[in-house]
Structure 1
Amino acid sequence: MGSGGCVGFFDRFRRSAPQHQGPGPATGVVAGQPAPAWPHATTPRQVGPPVPAASQQAIWVPAGQPTTVAGYPIPGGLLYVGKHLTAPNGRAEPALIDPMLRIDRNRPDWDGSGLDYWPSYATLPASSRAAYLTWLADGRRYGAVPIGYVFLFFYGLERRVLVDMPNDRALRRELPAIAAEVRRLLAIYGANSSFRSYASRLLEVLELIGAAESDVSEGQPPELVPDRWPIPMQLRLALGKFAASGTPVPAAWARAWAWYLPSLYPRTPQTRCPEEFDHLFVRRYAERFKDGFRVRPGKARIEVTYRAASAGIASANVRLDLPDVVELAGPARKLTELVDAVTDDLDAYSRWLGRNPDGRGSLAAAAVLPAELLDQQAGQVDALRAWCDARLADETHVVVDAADLIAFWPTAQPEKMTKAEAVSLAQLLGRIGVGVEPDVRLGGSTLSAGSAVLFRTTADAPHTATPAYTAAATLLHLAVAVSASDGTISDHEQHHLTAHLQAALHLTAPERTRLQAHLRWLAVTGVKLTGLKKRLDLLRADQRETIGDFLITVAAADGVISPEEVTSLTKIYKLLGLDPNLIYGRLHQQVTGPAASSAAAPPPAAGPVVVRPAGPAPAGYTLPPAPPAAHGSPTQGNGQRVPPGASGVVLDEDVIAAKLAETAAVSALLSTIFTDEEAPAPQPATMPAARPAEPTGQPTTQALVPGLDAVHSELLRSLAAQPRWTRAAYEDLAERHGVMPAGALDLINEVAMDAAGEPVVEGDDDIVINDYALQELVR
C-alpha cells in the first residue's frame, strides 16, 4: 500500500524527534534500546502484566494488553509479535512485528516513502519501522498517518479472523473487541475509500460469524444513515432469523428494511420530515399487518466472500444457514406500497415545511399533517380541539361566533381570513373530526366576522365538492331565499329542502351531514340576492325553467303560500327572466295536482292565499292515476309502459339518470352565482352553456377546484396534462372549453395566488405549468 499522497506525516513532531549528529549515516536502534520521546504518546494503563517481546515464537497480543517492542510501549494489543509466523500463502506473515529487526529511530519515515503497495513489517526499511511503531505507541489514532501503516496493522486483524478463528472456535470471544477496533479505525481513516471498503467488508464478516453466537434480532435495528449501501449485515441477519423462525417482522425492523431496500429510493418527505414519517410508518404498518408480516424463506443463504487486503491471504467465504430475504420480491412489494402511501400522505406537509422551515409545530403545519399524527402535536391543536368539543358537546351542529374561531389562527386578520388560511383551518378541523360552514373548499365563502356552524365529521368526509353536492348547495341557496321571505324557515320546510335534495341527488352520508349544517348556516346568516342578475343572464332558458320549478316546489312544501313568498318568487322569476304570471298556476299545480292547474292565475289577493285548509300535514302525496293509453297497456307520465296487471308506479331509470345529470350539470354552472365578488359582465364567448353538453347521460365525476366553476376546473385539469403549451395550442384548448383564453388564465392564476401564493400558469409565448401551484389546487 502506498502513502496515498499523504505528505508531511507527523511534520509537527519532527522537531521533537532525536536528530542524527555528526557525519556518516544514521545508526539504527536495535531492540531493547529506549524509544524516542514523543510529545503526544501516552503511558498506557497496565491491564495485567505486560506481554514481553517475543524472541523466537510469535504470539498474539490480546485486546487491552500492552507490550513493548524496541523500547516502544504499545497499548491496546490486537497484534502479532515474535520471530516466526507463516502466512497462508507460505510466505512470512506481513503483520508480524519482529522485535529483532533493525529500527532507525533517528530518521523515522514520517512520509511513508518506504512503503510499497503491499507492505510487510519484515521488508520495511528501518526508518519506516520506527514510524510504524511510533504510530502504534500513540494508540493508532493520528489521522494524517500514511494509510499503508494503517493497513499493516489491519492485516493482523484479518489474519486473526480469517485464519486463526476457523481453527479454534474459542477465539470467537475476541470478536467484539476486534469489531470495536475496526469501527474505531473506520471512524478515523474512513475518508480513504480503499480502507473504508475493506474495513466495512470485514465488519460484515465479523457480524456474520458473531450471528452464530448471539441473536441480533433481539437488539435494535441499524441506524438509518444517508449511505444506504451496502445493506447492513445486522439487518440481513435479523431478517433471516425472523424468516427462519416464522416470527413476524416488527415495525422498527420493517422500517429499517424499507430504508435500505435497494429498489426503494427515499423521496423528499422521508428525508425532510423523518420523525413524522417514522411515526406514520409504524402506525400504518400496525394497521395493515397487526404485529408484522411473516416472510417465507427462499433458497438464498446469507454469505460473504471477502477478498483480504493482506497479500498473505487470498480470500475467504463465510456462509450461514440463514435465509437471505432482504431483496425478495414479495416483501419488497409490500414495503414499497406502504412507503409510497405514507410518502404521499406526507407530501403536502413536506412541501409546506419546504416553504416554512421554521413552522414545525404550528397550527398551519398541523393542518396538512395526516390525522394520525395530530396526537404528536400539543398546545395549540389541543386547545382548538377542546374549544370545539366544549361547544359541540352532544349537538349535531352548533352556531358559533366565527371571530372566536378565527382567533385561533394567529396570522389571520381579526375580521376575515384569507382563502389560504380558511382552507388550512378547514383541513385542520377535519383532522380532529370537526366540519365548519362556510367551507371555502366546497365553494363557500371565507370565514369572516359573524356566525359559523360547527358539526361532527367522519374520516370519509369529502374535502372537495362533488357535482351532486354542488347541485344541492346551490339550489338550497335559492330555496332558502324563497322560504325565508316570510321571515322564518319552518322545520317542515327545512326537512323538505334537505330530504328532497338528498334523495334526488343521492348524496352520501357525510354530504347529508354537511348539507344540514350548511342549511343551518344559511338560515342564520341569510342569503344575499344582490348582484345575481348578471350571473343569471349567462344561463340558458331551460336551465332557468328548472330552477324556477324547483323553487315553486319548495315554496309549496308547507301547503300555505304567503304574499311574501309570492313576492319573493316574483322577484326571483324576474331575475331568471321567467314570466311571473306562471307562478300561481304552478303553485296551484303543486298542491292540487296537474289536473287542476292552469297556465295563468288571477292577480294576488290582498291577504294570504290559502290553498289547503289548515290541519295536520299529510304523510305524503297520492299520485293521480295515469290516463289510459290510446292503445295497449297504460303508460306512466314519464312515457314508460306499465305491464298488464302491474300496480303502483314504475319509474324509468334512464329518465331519472338523465334528470340527475342535468341537475348536477346546471348546478355546477351555478356554483359561482352566490359569491361575494362583483359579477362579471356578460360575455357570450365565455358562457359555460355555450359549450355543448357531453352526451354521457351521467353527471361528471370530477370535483370542482376550490374557487373555480366546472368549466374552468376542467380547463385547469386539461392544462395539467402536459408541462408546457404553445400559445396556439392553448387558445385551441380554451375554445374547446368555451372560454376566453386571456380571461380564463387570469381567473385561474387569481385562484392559484390565493391558494399557493404563486401563479399556476406562467410564460408569455409558451405557457408553462407551475407544478407546485398545480398540486396546491388539484389535490
Structure 2
Amino acid sequence: MPDAAGIGVEPALIDPTSPVDTRDPDWQGQSMDYWPCYSDISPKARGAYLSWLAGGRANPNAYIGYVFLYFYGLERRLLTEIPELDNSGAERAILVAEVRRLLQIYSGNRSFKGYAEGLLEAATLLDPAVRYDRAAPPVTEWSHELPIDLKIGLAQLAVEGRAVPADWALSWYAHHPDTYLRTPAVRCPNEFLELFTKRYRAKFGDGLVVKPNKPRLSVSYYAASIGFQGHVDLENTALPDVGRLSGPITKLRDIVEAVTSDLEAYSRYLGRYPDGAGSPAAIALLPDGVTHKPSPETDALWSWAAQCIGSDGRGVISAQELISRWPTKTGKLAKADSVAVAQLLEHRGLGIEPDVRFGGTTPTPTSSIVLFRRAERPVSAPGVEYAAALAIINLGMLVATADGTVSEPERRTLRELAIDELDLSEDEQLRLDAHAALVLTKPPTPAVLRRRLESLSTSRRATVGRLLTTIAAADGQVTPDEIRTLERLFTTLGLDPGDVYGSLHAAATDDLTRAEIPGKQKAGLRIPPSPASRQDSTTLTLDPERLARTRAESVLVAAELAEIFADDEPVAPPSPPPVDEAAVDGLDDAHTRLFHLLVARDTWSRAELDELAAEVGLMPDGALEALNEAAYDRTGEPLCEGSDPLDINQDIVKDMLG
C-alpha cells in the first residue's frame, strides 16, 4: 500500500507477514527510528507496538513512537480518505474522538500535542457541521490565530447572510492577532460580556452582517507521518475566510475600548479586593447596563434608603445613619466614598444631597442629608445652568427663612426663578427640591453671603438686592423680621439699607406684585392702591411680562453667583506627588522617578512608556519588572498591568509610598 505522497510504503500499514517478537518486546523503543515505519521496525518493536494496540492504546507510559505510528494511520484516514467518501460523518466523528482521547493521555509530550491539535484543526475544516448555533469559542487574553471553529462559524454566518451574535463577535475580536484585551476584560469576564452585548446590540441590532470575501478558508498542516512528505494544504471551497477581514474588527474596537474604560474602576477595586464583588463599594462602581448579585450589606443599605423617603419623594436624615451603613474604617466618608454612595443609590433610582459630583460637600457625622427619588432619566453630572439655579436657591433661602418659616408662595417663586428660566433636566429639578429641603435644615448666614459676594461688582450687588426683595415680597407680605434681614443683607452687600423700602415699593407695584409692608413708609414713596377687584391684601399678583424681565435679570445674576455659591470644588483625581518628594521602598532613584511619572495617569501606550523609560535612563521591560516586584513586596499586587496600553493600578500607589 503506497503512502499518501505515492512515493513509498504507508508507514502505518501493518503487514501480517512481518516477523513479531512478543517474548522480548522493545517496550522502551530503543530500536525505533525518529520516523518509524511498521515495515522497517524490528520484530521486538513490532511486539511492543502490537501489545500496546491490543491493550487499548491507553498505557500512559508507552513509548511515544508507538503512539505516533498509530497516529500516522489516523492522519491518512482523516486527511486523504474520509473527504472522498459520502456519508462519512459518523466515521469522522469516531476518528476525531480517538485523536482527542490520545491527546488527553499523551499531551505531556509537546511534539505529539502539537501534531494532534493540528490534525484536529485540519479535520475540522472539512467537517460540514454548523458551528454558529453553539456557544462561541471561549475568549482568551491573547491569541495569535483564530480557532478553526470560530473561522468556520463566521464563514457559515456570512454565507447564509446571518448576523454575527454578540458572543461570536467578542470571540472574533479577542482571538484576532491584532487585538489585545486589557485587564478589566480578563478580570471581569462576565461583566464585560454583559456590557459588550448590550452596547453591541444597541449599535448593530441583531449583529453585524458580514459579506463573504473571495479567499477561501484553508489550513496548512505539517503532517507527523513521513508518508505525507511535509505540509498538507487543505481548502474548504464552500467557505470564505472572513476571519481575516479588518473592517469588522475596527468597528468592534470602539465598543471594546469603551466597555473596558467603563469597567476600569470596578476592575481595579476587584484587583485590590478579590472577594469584594457584590459589596456596596463594588456595586457602586459598576457602569449602567451591568448587573451583579448584591451582597446582603448592599441590599440592606438600598432598603434602608428607600424607607427614608416620604410621600413627597424625599427625606431628611442624619448623615451618621448613612455613614454607619457604609464600609468605612474611619467612621467618616472621604470624597471617593461620597461619590461611591451617590453611584450606589443611583443604581436604585435614588439620589443624595449634598452630592460631591454636583458641587456639594462631603457629608459629615454631624450634618444632615436628603435622600430623594430620581427622575426616569437621571444625570450624573450638573448641566451648564445647574449652578446658577443652585445659587438662586441658596440666596433665596437666606431671605425666605428670616421670619422663621418659608411660605408656599416663597417656595414657588424660588422654584420658578431657579427652574422656569433655566434649561434644567427633570432630574436636576428634583435635585434642586432636595437641596432646598437640605438648606432649610441649616440656612446660609449673612456671614456666608459677605464672604462669597466680595468679588461682585457694585452694579451686580444692586441687582442682587432687587432679587432679594423680590423673593421677600413673593408671598404678598413682608414681615418686620424679613425687613431687618434685608437691611442687614443690604449692608453686607455694601448697599444703603435705606434703599430696602424703595426696592420693596418697586416690587409692590400693581404690575409686578402686591404686598403689605409694615412700618412707617419713607417720604415720597407710595404704594399704589390695589385694584378694586382684589380684596385680599395678601394675594400675590404677578404681571407675566414684567415678571419675565425680572426673572431674566435674576438669572443673569444667579449665573454670576454660581461659582460663588458652589459648596465645594468638583471631585478630581489626586495629583501625583513631585518626583523628588516621595521615596519608594525597594526602588533606586531612577526607578522612583519612573514610578512617579507613571502614576500620574491611569493608562500609557507602549510608545509613551518607552519615552518615559528613556527619559530616566532605563530599559522599559526591565523597569516594569522592577516596579511590579516592588509592588508585590509591598502590597501583593502588581503596579503595572497589560502591555499596550499599560494600565496603572492606582489603588496601591499610596500603599507603595508608605
1:421 aligns with 2:337: yes
1:243 aligns with 2:108: no
Counterpart Cα distance in 1 of 2:368 and 2:527: 36
Counterpart of 1:616, as a letter, is T
Change (3 A) 1:87 1:437: closer
SS at match of 1:454: strand
**Distance apart, 1:229 and its partner CA:** 4.1
Counterpart Cα distance in 2 of 1:421 and 1:96: 73
Counterpart of 2:410, as a letter, is E
Measured against aligned partners, the alpha-carbon deviations of 1:160-213 in whole angstroms (never above 9, x if no partner) come to: 1122223433444211122122223334444555444432232122222222xx
**Distance apart, 1:157 and its partner CA:** 0.9
1:453 aligns with 2:370: yes
Q: Look up the match of 2:488.
A: 571
Q: Look up the match of 2:278.
A: 361
Q: Look up the match of 1:272.
A: 187
Change (3 A) 1:566 1:155: same
Counterpart Cα distance in 2 of 1:667 and 1:393: 30
**Distance apart, 1:273 and its partner CA:** 0.9
2:32–2:41 CA contact under 8 A, matched in 1: yes
TM-score, normalised to structure 1, is 0.63
Residue in structure 2 matching 1:616, options 524, 528, 539: 539
Residue in structure 1 matching 2:214, options 299, 308, 312: 299
1:259 aligns with 2:174: yes
Gaps of 5+ in 1: 1-83, 596-602, 625-647, 676-703, 709-721, 726-768
Q: Look up the match of 2:97.
A: 180
Measured against aligned partners, the alpha-carbon deviations of 1:347-377 in whole angstroms (never above 9, x if no partner) come to: 2211221222111111111111123334643
Counterpart Cα distance in 2 of 1:775 and 1:503: 47
Counterpart of 1:345, as a letter, is D
Residue in structure 1 matching 2:566, options 659, 671, 684: 671
Residue in structure 1 matching 2:67, options 139, 142, 150: 150
Which stretch shows the higher mean deviation, 423-432 or 214-223? Answer: 214-223
Counterpart Cα distance in 2 of 1:461 and 1:775: 33
Counterpart of 1:591, as a letter, is A
Counterpart of 2:539, as a letter, is P
**Distance apart, 1:233 and its partner CA:** 1.9
**Distance apart, 1:484 and its partner CA:** 0.4
TM-score, normalised to structure 2, is 0.74
Gaps of 5+ in 2: 513-517, 531-536, 574-596, 601-646
SS at match of 1:372: coil
Q: Look up the match of 2:6.
A: 89
Counterpart Cα distance in 2 of 1:243 and 1:98: 48
Change (3 A) 1:99 1:449: farther
Counterpart Cα distance in 2 of 1:706 and 1:489: 32
- Write out aligned runs for 1:381-420 (5 A): 381-390=298-307, 392=309, 395-400=312-317, 402-411=319-328, 417-420=333-336
User: Which structure has the greater CA radius of gyration?
Assistant: 1
Counterpart Cα distance in 1 of 2:344 and 2:653: 18
1:285–1:292 CA contact under 8 A, matched in 2: yes
Counterpart Cα distance in 1 of 2:490 and 2:44: 108
1:215 aligns with 2:130: yes
**Distance apart, 1:513 and its partner CA:** 2.1
**Distance apart, 1:426 and its partner CA:** 0.9
Change (3 A) 1:86 1:354: closer
Which stretch shows the higher mean deviation, 430-439 or 136-145? Answer: 136-145
Counterpart Cα distance in 1 of 2:47 and 2:255: 58
Change (3 A) 1:199 1:278: same
Counterpart Cα distance in 2 of 1:450 and 1:534: 21
1:478 aligns with 2:395: yes
Counterpart of 1:231, as a letter, is L
**Distance apart, 1:131 and its partner CA:** 5.0
Counterpart Cα distance in 2 of 1:124 and 1:257: 46
Counterpart Cα distance in 2 of 1:396 and 1:353: 34
Report how many aligned residue pairs link the two structures: 569
SS at match of 1:184: helix
Change (3 A) 1:382 1:610: farther
SS at match of 2:346: helix
**In percent, how many aligned pairs have the same letter?**
38
Counterpart of 2:372, as a letter, is F
Change (3 A) 1:452 1:253: same
Counterpart Cα distance in 1 of 2:404 and 2:526: 18
1:283 aligns with 2:148: no
Change (3 A) 1:267 1:176: same
Counterpart Cα distance in 2 of 1:166 and 1:462: 61
Q: Look up the match of 2:269.
A: 352
Change (3 A) 1:85 1:277: same
Counterpart of 2:541, as a letter, is P
1:504–1:660 CA contact under 8 A, matched in 2: yes
Counterpart of 1:347, as a letter, is E
SS at match of 1:215: coil
Counterpart Cα distance in 1 of 2:308 and 2:292: 21
Change (3 A) 1:669 1:261: farther
Measured against aligned partners, the alpha-carbon deviations of 1:640-680 in whole angstroms (never above 9, x if no partner) come to: xxxxxxxx99x9xxxx89x97875454224424xx6xxxxx
Q: Look up the match of 1:439.
A: 355
**Distance apart, 1:145 and its partner CA:** 5.7
Counterpart Cα distance in 1 of 2:167 and 2:439: 50
Counterpart Cα distance in 1 of 2:157 and 2:5: 37
1:560–1:611 CA contact under 8 A, matched in 2: no
Residue in structure 2 matching 1:224, options 134, 139, 147: 139
Q: Look up the match of 1:121.
A: 38
Q: CA RMSD, aligned part only?
A: 4.2
Counterpart Cα distance in 2 of 1:539 and 1:130: 104
Counterpart of 1:339, as a letter, is V
Measured against aligned partners, the alpha-carbon deviations of 1:525-568 in whole angstroms (never above 9, x if no partner) come to: 43355666555556666665554453343233334332322332
SS at match of 2:145: coil
- Write out aligned runs for 1:550-699 (5 A): 550-592=467-509, 605=520, 614-620=537-543, 623=546, 663-664=558-559, 666-672=561-567
Measured against aligned partners, the alpha-carbon deviations of 1:664-699 in whole angstroms (never above 9, x if no partner) come to: 454224424xx6xxxxxxxxxxxxxxxxxxxxxxxx
Change (3 A) 1:163 1:771: closer
Residue in structure 2 matching 1:161, options 57, 78, 101: 78
Counterpart of 2:157, as a letter, is F
Counterpart Cα distance in 1 of 2:202 and 2:295: 24
1:443–1:707 CA contact under 8 A, matched in 2: no
**Distance apart, 1:401 and its partner CA:** 5.2
Q: Look up the match of 1:430.
A: 346
Change (3 A) 1:106 1:667: same
1:406–1:412 CA contact under 8 A, matched in 2: no
Counterpart Cα distance in 2 of 1:553 and 1:452: 29
Counterpart Cα distance in 2 of 1:465 and 1:336: 30
Counterpart of 1:185, as a letter, is L
| Greater relative contact order structure (CA < 8 Å, 6+ sep) | 2
